[in-house]
Structure 1
Amino acid sequence: MGAAMRPEGWELRLAAEIRAWEGRAFEWGTADCLGFCRAVARAMTAADPIPDLPAYGSEYTAAKVLVELGHRSVEDLVDAHLPRVAVARARRGDWVMTAAEGAMPGAMGVVTGRYALHLGATGLVRRPVLTAEAAWCVD
């Protein structure tokens, strides 16, 4: 798995999608950390790794959706759709979860190299990948 299985030109689509999210403020259901990750994955691969996720508009309804789908957490949801990889093996475009300072606990982000981007309150926040607690491969 990894970059070798991604469609040609994925790197340009990754960069373009990240630029489209720069300066975008966090908003549940439309511009949140999972939405950012899913948008980047769709741009890179033309597929949504979590295609049937119902709409939600608040932290409460997001938690309710998780429970209704049979998941205890966002981490559990992502585990059901993507294969885990060791954090140190995460590649550009893969997803990570971190509780690093400045990011919400359990915040999902997209690996861009040594750093991952997470959607914060007022835009993208850069955190070292190696501070992540978990990583998933996006092909």
Structure 2
Amino acid sequence: MRLKDWQQRFSDFGKARASMPFAWGSNDCCTFAAAAVEAISGVNPMADVERYSTEVGALRRIAEAGDLKALAAAHLGEPVSQLLAGVGDVVLVMNEGREMLGICNGVNVMAPGEFGMVALGMDAALAAWKI
């Protein structure tokens, strides 16, 4: 599923998102993870999700699926143990009492933050999806 040059594409993705602030519908945890998967595989797993631009819209999409884990599973397949997450895999983490999606960089989970990409510890990981 990964493109031959996925490592360079993943690096380019990280550089492009490093200082990009959080924004509902364009750089929130779901769109961030989907964009990373697209960079690695050439396929946006959330292409069929109705667009939103507010927190209410994002929460509606999540509620329609059941929860964030179910939404991710609907687009990425069944999750695996977070212990199996490797570079470029999508990871579900708990951050400040809220679930969010991020991308494993091999050591941490990278996710969109208020002022740019943030690193979260893998100890906060709940599940992962192999890409």
Determine if the TM-score, normalized by the shorter chain, exceeds 0.5. Answer: yes
Match of 1:84, SS state, is: coil
Which deviations, in whole Å up to 9, do the C-alpha atoms of 1:2-57 show, x marking residues without a partner?
xxx52211011001011100111111011111111111111111101222011101
Q: How far apart in 2 are the matches of 1:51 and 1:35?
A: 10
Q: How far apart in 2 are the matches of 1:63 and 1:137?
A: 24
Match of 1:62, SS state, is: helix
Query: Counterpart of 1:39?
Result: 35
Which deviations, in whole Å up to 9, do the C-alpha atoms of 1:65-87 show, x marking residues without a partner?
334xx412221111112231111
Q: Does 1:109 align with 2:105?
A: no
CA pair 100-64 structure 1, distance change in 2 beyond 3 A: closer
Which deviations, in whole Å up to 9, do the C-alpha atoms of 1:74-102 show, x marking residues without a partner?
2111111223111111111111111134x
The partner residue of 2:83 within 71, 88, 108 is 88
1:64 offset after TM fit, Å?
A: 2.0
The partner residue of 2:112 within 119, 122, 133 is 119
**Would you say the 8 A contact 1:100–1:132 is kept in 2?**
no
Extract unaligned runs of 5+ from structure 1: none
Q: How far apart in 2 are the matches of 1:76 and 1:29?
A: 18
Query: Counterpart of 2:50?
Result: 54
Give the AA of the match of 1:15.
S
Give the root-mean-square deviation of aligned CA atoms: 1.5
Query: Counterpart of 1:65?
Result: 61
Match of 1:44, SS state, is: helix
How many residue pairs were aligned?
A: 130
Identity of aligned residues (%): 28
Give the AA of the match of 1:111.
C
Q: Which has the higher strand share?
A: 2
TM-score, with length taken from structure 1: 0.86
The partner residue of 1:19 within 15, 19, 24 is 15
TM-score, with length taken from structure 2: 0.91
**Would you say the 8 A contact 1:88–1:130 is kept in 2?**
no
Q: How far apart in 1 are the matches of 2:124 and 2:68?
A: 18
